[in-house]
Amino acid sequence: MRVVVPFGGREPKTRLAPFFDADERRDFAVSMLRDVLDAVRAAGGDPAVVADAPVSVEAPVAVDDRPLTEVVGDELDGFDGDPVAVVMADLALATPAALARLFETDADVVAAPGLGGGTNALVVRHPEFSVDYHGASILDHRRIARDAGCSFAEVDSMRLAVDVDEPSDLVEVLVHGEGRAREWLVDAGVRLERGTGRVEAVRERR
């Protein structure tokens, strides 16, 4: 299956500025992208990166700096009967098993919701479906599928629901990550701090 992986490489992960400077944020973002590409391939997918700036990874990269909805919209406009998947580049917890569940779920449109109303991954098997990544996109995608007469299924996966944007998301990478992104955090001195409430991520040195 063709799997489009959109990657924002120009100013990635600005909400992690309390932890990392701009170069570090880009390094970390690329380590997450590489983990996602590995997981996609291990799940039987054929990844293609669409990035807003050049990035060097072991996959074809097309540079396109338009908004996400337009970039993915163009990919879907080229629909030729073969399914197309879209998997975000910051799903640092994604495993081959979680992506295989996504790829193998049988519906015209299959979505993995992200926390906060997002759509972290999609499989599209119907020419009339289109995307809208603004706001609570999972609600829009449910509606667009219904209006287009597409069957719609959601994959219930924590590993696909967590996209890494904010410091609190680093906890999930430390607890559940299995790849480069977790290693990168550990090497950068990020560790868990266990308090009385929810666990937090802290950085020991910069």
The site for a second copy (CB under 8 A) is made up of: 95, 97-98, 113, 115-118, 134-136, 138-139, 156-162, 165, 168, 171-172, 175-176, 192, 194-195, 198-199
Angstrom distance (rounded) from CA 197 to CA 47: 39
CB-based contacts of 70: which residues, under 8 Å, 6+ apart?
A: none
CB of 112 to a second copy, least distance (A): 8
Which residues is 128 bridged to in the sheet? none
Pick 27 or 165: Cβ nearer a second copy:
165
Q: Which helix (H) or strand (E) holds 154?
A: strand 152-154
Which residues is 161 bridged to in the sheet? none
80-85 contacts, C-beta under 8 A, 24 or more apart: 82/1, 82/2, 83/1, 83/2, 83/123, 83/124, 83/125, 84/1, 84/2, 84/3, 84/4, 84/123, 84/124, 85/1, 85/2, 85/3, 85/4, 85/45, 85/121, 85/122, 85/123, 85/124
CB of 198 to a second copy, least distance (A): 4
* Closest to 169 in 3D by CA, of 95, 85, 90: 90
CB of 168 to a second copy, least distance (A): 7
Pick 56 or 196: Cβ nearer a second copy:
196
CB of 105 to a second copy, least distance (A): 12
Pick 86 or 170: Cβ nearer a second copy:
170
Pick 168 or 183: Cβ nearer a second copy:
168
Pick 45 or 167: Cβ nearer a second copy:
167
CB of 58 to a second copy, least distance (A): 26
Beta-sheet pairing, 61-63 with 119-124: unpaired
CB of 192 to a second copy, least distance (A): 6
